[in-house]
Amino acid sequence: MQMPTNKFKQALAQRRPQFGLFMGLANPISAEILATCGYDFLLIDAEHGLNDTRCVQTQLQAMAPYPVQCLVRPASHDPALIKQILGTGVQTLLVPMVDTAEHARAIVSSMHYPPKGIRGVGTGLERGARWNAISDYFAKGAEELCLIVQIESRTALENLDEIAAVEGVDAVFIGPSDLAASLGYLGRVSHPDVKAAIEDALTRIASHGKAAGVFCADASLAASYQASGAHFVALGADTGLLRSAAIKLLDSVQPQSGNANVGAGY
Active site positions, annotated: 48
Q: Beta-carbon neighbour count of residue 207 at 10 Å? A: 11
Asked whether 234 and 20 are in contact (CB, 8 A), the reply is yes
* Residue 31 phi, psi dihedral angles, 5° rounding: -65, -40
Asked whether 205 and 169 are in contact (CB, 8 A), the reply is no
How many helices (H) does the chain have, and how many strands (E)?
12, 8
Burial, 151: exposed, middle or buried (Cβ in 10 Å; 0-12, 13-18, 19+)?
buried
CA distance 166 to 156: 14
The residues that bridge with 19 in the sheet, in sequence order, are 233
**C-alpha dihedral sign at 222, 223, 225, 226:** positive
